[in-house]
Structures are given as C-alpha cells and as structure tokens.
C-alpha cells in the first residue's frame, strides 16, 4: 500500500506541502526564487518553522517579484528586521535582496531563472529510488555544481545542501521514497 513520505508527519500544513507541492516540477521564476529564498532561510531551522512563515515571506518580499525585491534598500532591511512574519536574520534578509538582483542577471543572461536551474538536470526531473528516508543524500554532485555556479554568480545562502533541498522542493529531483504515493507521479 502506498503511503506518504514519513517526514511530512500529520500536521496539516506539512501534509499539504508534501502532497501538493514538494517535488512538483516548478517552472515559474517567482516560484523558484521563493523556494530558493525559503530554503536559504531554513539554514539552522526546521522546515516547519519556515513553512509556517511562508505567507509572511510572500508579503514581506513583494510576492517574490525579483525586480521589486532587487530594489529594496537599507530602510527595507531595517523594516524587515522588525517583521515577525519572517526569520529576522540580517544575513538572510540581505541575501534575499542580493539573490533577487542575481536572479535578474540570470534572466538577462539565460532568458529565465527557470531555464538556468533546469539546465543542471537537462530539463527533466531526476527520480530517486530510495526505500527509506535515511538513504536520501543531503547533497549530490549536481547540487554541488549548481551551488558553485550560483556562488560564482554572487548568490548567497546557496550551499550544496541548501541547493539540494531547493532542487527537491522545485521538482528538479523527485526524492519521494518508492512507497510514497507521490513517487514518480510528476
């Protein structure tokens, strides 16, 4: 009998995220920027904590419109440091603004952020064949390559583990365990 990945637990927000979003191929630049931001914000925290602040992040960062966020200045940073709807960490806030600027550069260079990130998996999701959560790696050669290239382009909070989690979230990698009803479904 197919179940869901055990990491989703039973909390409705986590279940809905697992069942409806995690691992679904994402091709919208704003949605990809959002996932990269949220995965970077998670560093040192639980995904549950960040997911519970997602609505706050969308409000604080202009719906993840990269052009709007790229224009944020020091006043915006100070305002965001007081916003309980997001993780109030100066480095993470500043990295989001910086990364918005870098997304715009990638769009100029590659046509879209989508085309850029999906080029690392040749345009198609990589489907894992994991039987247990413990088998899933925290990074791979591909996430390391994307991480290095993002860093070369000036992105921040994009280490190989963060980038691997981003790739899973955005559906570049399908790491649902083989017993999960979502394995290989999209």
pLDDT at 27 (0 to 100): 98
Decide if 116 is catalytic: no
Domain ranges of the chain: 6-174
Using CA atoms, how far apart are residues 175 and 173, in angstroms rounded to an integer? 6
37-49 residue pLDDT tens: 999 999 889 999 9
77-125 residue pLDDT tens: 999 999 999 999 999 999 999 999 999 999 999 999 999 999 999 999 9
Decide if 164 is catalytic: no
SS3 content of the chain, % helix, strand, coil (to 5): 60, 5, 40
Catalytic residue among 22, 34, 39, 57: 39
| H-state helical runs in 111-140 | 113-118
Catalytic residue among 7, 21, 47, 94: 47
Decide if 74 is catalytic: no
Q: What pTM was estimated for this model as a whole?
A: 0.95
Catalytic residue among 7, 17, 94, 105: 17
- The class of domain 6-174 in CATH terms is mainly alpha
């Amino acid at each position: 009998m197919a179940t869901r990945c055990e990491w989703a637990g039973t909390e409705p927000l986590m279940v809905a995220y697992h069942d409806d979003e995690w691992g679904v191929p994402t091709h919208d630049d704003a949605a990809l920027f959002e996932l990269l931001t949220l995965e970077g914000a998670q560093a040192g925290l639980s995904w549950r904590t960040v997911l519970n602040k997602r609505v706050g992040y969308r409000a604080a960062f202009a719906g993840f419109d990269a052009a709007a966020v790229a224009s944020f200045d020091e006043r915006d940073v100070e305002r965001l440091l007081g916003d309980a709807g997001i993780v109030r960490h100066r480095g993470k806030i500043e990295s989001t603004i910086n990364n918005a600027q870098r997304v715009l550069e990638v769009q100029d260079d590659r046509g879209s952020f989508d085309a850029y990130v999906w080029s690392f998996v040749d345009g198609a999701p990589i489907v894992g064949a994991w039987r247990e959560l413990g088998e899933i790696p925290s990074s791979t050669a591909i996430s390391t390559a994307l991480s290095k290239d993002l860093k070369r382009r000036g992105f921040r909070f994009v280490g190989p583990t963060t980038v691997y989690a981003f790739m899973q979230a955005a559906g570049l990698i399908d790491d649902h365990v083989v017993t999960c009803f979502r394995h290989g479904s999209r």
